[in-house]
């Protein structure tokens, strides 16, 4: 067991899945604007990491249309949040009604004061070589976000256990503004979301984040309950090698820089969609996966060569895909060959007995 510092992540250590009781307090429940008399209540993450609120209240008569009523629940000192009832049980002997409800939107923002520090969780994150104590830090505008692993993170990627996991809390992050200025929850959500999108690109699937909160030093700071939408825990194999983990912050800076330009944002969006489609289809439809991968590469190649290489549309149209990819790697100062990690592909290239035939030509031939 590593010597991890005590902090807000502690309650999740060793609990990659629910149920997990949360420390938010239910302060009011309203059906159609009418306050309920609550006897007991709790907030939790269930086995599927959904936010659920359970409570009991006194009721003199059965509610036949309870699911149709507008339900608002106040947690801590936040504004009321919209929920819906997914389970209702009435005990006619004790006149007690039990309810289970979940937010209509997750993650649900609990309004509160801005903060210059924050904490949050990642669901189904990528497998990276992250230093246990120091983490790995990414910079996004005025925000430093440091990604950390749990003691249970490595275990999640090992052995048979992962075969039974569809979603799991894999990482946590801490964030702080570079200039010390406070930011609100919506701004934090947007900036961390950009990093999570990038990490999703690294893993090859959509990953989730949530359970964020501002600094405990700030009275009544904002909080988020629940997680964004995400894909299953176990992804198909993709391009990323864990040995490149230390290069991710620099890659992320370049990613953010390109997103700041409208054309760059469009190009990245299209390329990522091609890339994800290729990842999802590679097991059952290899030909389609190769076509999607090539489309993604060509989409990125055009953007890089036209914006940084000075290529015209005519030049790009006349060049082969292999020539475009070679030019991109030279321009971006990327060293190596697409076959360097595969002995099988090296044998194919060698068998061609052609000095001009390399990994880029092989990709284009596919």
Residue 1 inside a domain? The answer is no
Rounded (to 5) percent helix, strand, coil in the chain: 35, 25, 40
297-329 per-residue burial string, b: 16 or more CB within 10 A, e: under 16: bbbbbbbbbbeebebeeeebeebebbbbbbbbb
Q: Could you tell me if 48 and 121 lie in one domain? A: no
Give the highest mean pLDDT range of 194-203, 270-279, 344-353. 194-203
Q: Could you tell me if 145 and 98 lie in one domain? A: no
pLDDT at 3: 46
Q: Could you tell me if 52 and 144 lie in one domain? A: no
279: how many CB neighbours lie within 10 A of its CB?
A: 21
Q: Could you tell me if 129 and 230 lie in one domain? A: yes
- 310-349: per-residue pLDDT in tens? 999 899 889 988 888 889 888 888 777 777 766 776 777 7
- Looking at the structure of the chain, the number of domains it has is 3
Residue 136 inside a domain? The answer is yes
Tell which residue, 97, 38, 122, has the closest CA to residue 73: 38
Judge contact between 38 and 97, C-beta under 8 A. Answer: no
Q: Could you tell me if 165 and 239 lie in one domain? A: yes
At which of 53, 75, 104 does a domain end? 104
- 162-193: per-residue pLDDT in tens? 556 788 999 999 999 999 999 999 999 999 99
pLDDT at 96: 81
Q: Could you tell me if 201 and 305 lie in one domain? A: no
Q: Could you tell me if 143 and 232 lie in one domain? A: yes
Q: Could you tell me if 312 and 352 lie in one domain? A: yes
Q: In whole numbers, what is the pLDDT of the chain averaged over residues?
A: 86
Largest Cα separation within the chain, whole Å, is: 87
Rg (CA), the chain: 25
Q: Could you tell me if 36 and 142 lie in one domain? A: no
Q: Could you tell me if 118 and 239 lie in one domain? A: yes
4: how many CB neighbours lie within 10 A of its CB?
A: 15
Q: Could you tell me if 266 and 221 lie in one domain? A: no
Tell which residue, 313, 265, 314, 272, has the closest CA to residue 295: 272
Tell which residue, 150, 140, 206, has the closest CA to residue 173: 150
At which of 187, 222, 246 does a domain end? 246
Q: Which domain holds residue 293?
A: 251-365
Residue 8 inside a domain? The answer is no
pLDDT at 70: 93
pLDDT at 366: 65
Mean pLDDT, range 64-69, rounded to an integer: 81
At which of 227, 246, 265 does a domain end? 246
Q: How many Å apart are CA 258 and CA 16, to the nearest integer?
A: 34
Residue 32 inside a domain? The answer is yes
Judge contact between 126 and 157, C-beta under 8 A. Answer: no
């Amino acid at each position: 067991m590593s010597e991890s510092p005590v902090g807000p992540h502690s309650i999740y250590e060793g609990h990659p899945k629910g149920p997990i009781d949360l420390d938010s307090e239910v302060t009011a429940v309203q059906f159609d604007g009418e306050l309920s008399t609550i006897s007991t209540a709790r907030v939790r993450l269930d086995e599927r990491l959904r936010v659920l609120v359970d409570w009991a209240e006194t009721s003199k008569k059965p509610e036949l249309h309870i699911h149709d009523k507008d339900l608002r629940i106040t947690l801590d000192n936040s504004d009321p949040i919209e929920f819906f009832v997914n389970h209702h049980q009435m005990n006619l002997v004790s006149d007690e009604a039990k309810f289970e409800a979940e937010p209509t939107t997750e993650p649900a923002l609990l309004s509160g004061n801005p903060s210059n520090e924050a904490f949050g969780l990642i669901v189904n994150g990528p497998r990276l070589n992250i230093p246990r104590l120091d983490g790995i830090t990414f910079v996004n505008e005025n925000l430093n976000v440091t990604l950390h692993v749990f003691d249970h993170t490595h275990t999640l990627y090992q052995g048979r256990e992962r075969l039974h996991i569809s979603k799991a809390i894999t990482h946590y992050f801490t964030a702080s503004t570079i200039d010390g200025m406070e930011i609100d929850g919506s701004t934090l959500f947007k900036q961390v979301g950009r990093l999570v999108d990038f990490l999703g690109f690294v893993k090859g699937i959509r990953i989730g984040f949530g359970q964020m909160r501002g600094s405990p030093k700030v009275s009544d700071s904002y909080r988020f309950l629940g997680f964004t939408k995400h894909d299953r825990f176990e992804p198909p194999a993709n391009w990323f090698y864990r040995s490149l983990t230390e290069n991710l912050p620099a890659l992320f800076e370049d990613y953010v820089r390109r997103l700041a330009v409208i054309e760059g944002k469009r190009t990245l969006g299209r390329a990522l969609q091609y890339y994800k489609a290729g990842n999802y289809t590679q097991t059952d439809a290899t030909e389609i996966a190769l076509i999607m991968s090539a489309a993604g590469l060509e989409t990125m190649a055009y953007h890089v060569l036209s914006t940084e290489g000075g290529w015209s549309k005519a030049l790009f149209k006349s060049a082969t895909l292999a020539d475009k990819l070679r030019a991109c790697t030279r321009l971006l100062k990327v060293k190596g060959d697409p076959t360097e990690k595969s002995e099988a592909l090296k044998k194919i290239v060698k068998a061609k007995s052609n000095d001009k035939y390399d990994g880029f030509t092989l990709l284009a031939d596919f």
